[in-house]
Amino acid sequence: MIVLQKKSLKSVWTAFNAQKNSDSPAYTGDWRGRKKKITWVNHIPYTFKDTNGLKKTLILHRVVCKEEWQVVNADTAEIEMKFSRHAWISGKPLTLQNIHELCNLGARYRWAIEDSNHTEKRRGYCYEHAFSYNWQAMCGFHHLMRLAHLINAITLATQRVVKWVKKMGIREFLSFVKGTLTGPWISKDWAVQFLRQPFGFHIE
């Protein structure tokens, strides 16, 4: 699912508006407190020229999602209606059976991925810094960054460890987690001996 801006691929927009009518398939429903109406048109040809000047045609599937929901105005305390519209092109035809998964569970969650990247770039992880110019080193750093961000996010979002974070501080707590994950609490000899024992199920 790729976001399609209003001024992009004008021929696709034109074909979508021309083919969409009252008989076109549509999905309506509530999702996470928002009323949605999703309409789509499948099999729209898009012709373009490649880098060699040759014409090529892609078959695109076009979808538009309109949302409305209520919010309380912070200044007046009155209930207001909010509206938004989202448009995408899909790599596979859209149907009533897959529209919820592709749009609500897929395309609308792109913000979470983008916000995660923004957090690593601008909110203390310094991910914009070039820590290395070696490709393998950069790949390794990327995986370590994602793992560190995951542990940090889980730590901050887990209620069972909130009291420990407050007591120890985030840096000391993360050091404690690191020590727990990497510390030699179980010896190799003990693990080998344990695995040699027969396993059984106990039903109570």
Secondary structure of residue 34 in the 3-state scheme: strand
Co-location of 150 and 67 in the same domain: no
Co-location of 113 and 13 in the same domain: yes
Co-location of 108 and 174 in the same domain: no
Q: How confident is the model at residue 201, as a pLDDT?
A: 52
CB 47 within 8 A of CB 80: no
- The whole domain housing 135 covers 130-187
Residue where the block lists tokens 């592709």: 102
Report the run of H or E that residue 129 belongs to, with start and end: none
Co-location of 26 and 100 in the same domain: yes
CB 103 within 8 A of CB 65: yes
Q: How confident is the model at residue 204, as a pLDDT?
A: 44
Residues of the chain with pLDDT under 50: 202-204
CB 103 within 8 A of CB 1: yes
Co-location of 70 and 148 in the same domain: no
pTM, 2 dp = 0.55
Co-location of 115 and 137 in the same domain: no
DSSP H helical ranges for the chain: 10-19, 99, 110-122, 135-157, 162-168, 170-182, 188-196
Secondary structure of residue 203 in the 3-state scheme: coil
Which residues make Cβ contacts (< 8 Å) with residue 110, sequence separation at least 6?
1, 3
Co-location of 147 and 71 in the same domain: no
Domain contains 195: no
3 phi, psi to nearest 5 deg? -65, 135
Q: How many CA atoms lie within 13 A of 27 on its CB side?
A: 22
If one counts the domains in the chain, the total is 2
**How many Å separate Cα 77 from the centre of its chain?**
32
Q: How confident is the model at residue 142, as a pLDDT?
A: 83
Co-location of 46 and 86 in the same domain: yes
